[in-house]
Amino acid sequence: MMKIGEVKERLAETVDWETWMDDIRQDPRKNVQAALAGWQRKKNLRDKQQHAHDQKIEFDASFKENREDLVCGIDEAGRGPLAGPVVTAAVILPEDCSVLTGLDDSKKLSKAKRDQYAALIKEIAVSYAVHIQPPEEIDAQNIYQATRSSMTQAALQLNPRPDVILADAMQLDAGIHCESIIKGDAKSLCIAAASILAKTGRDAIMAAYASEYPAYGFEKHAGYGTKEHLIALEENGPCPIHRKTFEPVKSMVEPPLSLRLDS
């Protein structure tokens, strides 16, 4: 009978069920059964992640007319905040994306996991591009058009040029066949990869702005309209990176209607 330490060591080195584990299943020791149950939970998680990964790969491949076609995923981060840019990313992934197993919508992953995946995506991507749309353009165009323009520019920066664009809930006019995919980061691996690059890219920008404008706490809320952010706005007024067409910033920078009429 193996010692408990030996059982744990062998389980740590085992990926799939092996014949020696049949004896472990009958072992009456509680510590052994706990170790086996822990191994099974981890295996179930790996199997679930692998299944989801395979489904995302198949989804992306379904848009190819030829096996050699390049599929680009595009997503954005920062449409809703009161401050800062919209950041969009475009990614073409290689055929072998096994290192990205477990990749999901960026909002479902921890910051550490997002940073880890971002490094992997940049390392293995056939091509990727990140575009930053500043608050001034968001105010000039409106948030929808500014995001659409940013996504288009990210797509056009890719080299080689993709054959198909899969954009998260957006139809683009980039001279390339484009499919608008609702909840694309949950269905498509290349859109999920783009969501990671957009999110990590924007978070880094907002962390830098937090040092430049420390009164607003951008490192905590990334410009979203949290209670803390709204209080800071009331106390300090808008700063240069606030979106002047978004409320309540708009009301702070525009004079009351009565004053405008008087003038």
Binding-site residue set: 75-76, 168
Q: Which tokens is 93 given?
A: 């992934």
Long-range pairs, 138-142, Cβ under 8 A, ≥24: 138/85, 138/86, 138/243, 138/245, 139/243, 139/244, 139/245, 142/245
* Tokens at 144, concatenated: 């929808």
Binding residues for a divalent metal cation: 75-76, 168
Angle, helix 30-61 to helix 4-12, in steps of 10 degrees: 0
Contacts with 59 (C-beta within 8 Å, 6 or more apart), sequence order: 187, 188, 189
- Percent helix, strand and coil across the chain, each rounded to 5? 55, 15, 35
Tell me which amino acid residue 175 is: G
Query: Residue 149 carries which DSSP code?
Result: H
Cβ(176)–Cβ(158) below 8 Å:
no
DSSP string, 98-142: GGGTT---GGGS-HHHHHHHHHHHHHH-SEEEEEEE-HHHHHHH-
Residue 162 CA to residue 178 CA, distance in Å, equals 10
169: which 2 tokens?
């809930």
